[in-house]
Amino acid sequence: MIRVVLPYHLRNLAMIGSEMQLEVSGDATIASVLDSIEQYYPMLTGTIRDHTTKKRRPFLRFYACGEDLSLAEPGTRLPDKVINGEEPFLVIGAVAGG
């Protein structure tokens, strides 16, 4: 079971609490977690990654075990602690300002 934490606006859209738990089929990669999110919560399709290109939306970042995975390839395997449910996969809204 993979634990996923989303930013407030996406949790609100999906009508979930602070954390979701997902079953991921096959290898637990960034792409397979995002596929599962979109499968279980279709209202989130296109909010985390582009509908067509499947690229991460610009103002969202991915973290796992303190490591920034935002620029990692979608096929990147998640750390064992995330796969085992010890640590969550984090989708964080980027902070911008000026």
The single-letter code of the amino acid at 26 is G
Q: Mean pLDDT across the stretch 57-64? A: 94
Domain boundaries, the chain: 2-93
User: Which homologous superfamily is 2-93 in?
Assistant: Beta-grasp domain (3.10.20.30)
Q: Is residue 10 classed as helix, strand or coil in its secondary structure?
A: helix
Cβ(28)–Cβ(69) below 8 Å = no
Give the pLDDT score at 25. Answer: 82
Give the pLDDT score at 71. Answer: 95
Q: Which residue has the tokens 């984090």?
A: 90
Could you report the per-residue pLDDT of 2-58, keeping only the tens digit for each?
999 999 999 999 999 999 999 998 899 999 999 999 999 999 999 999 999 999 999
* Three-point CA angle 60, 61, 65, nearest 5°: 150
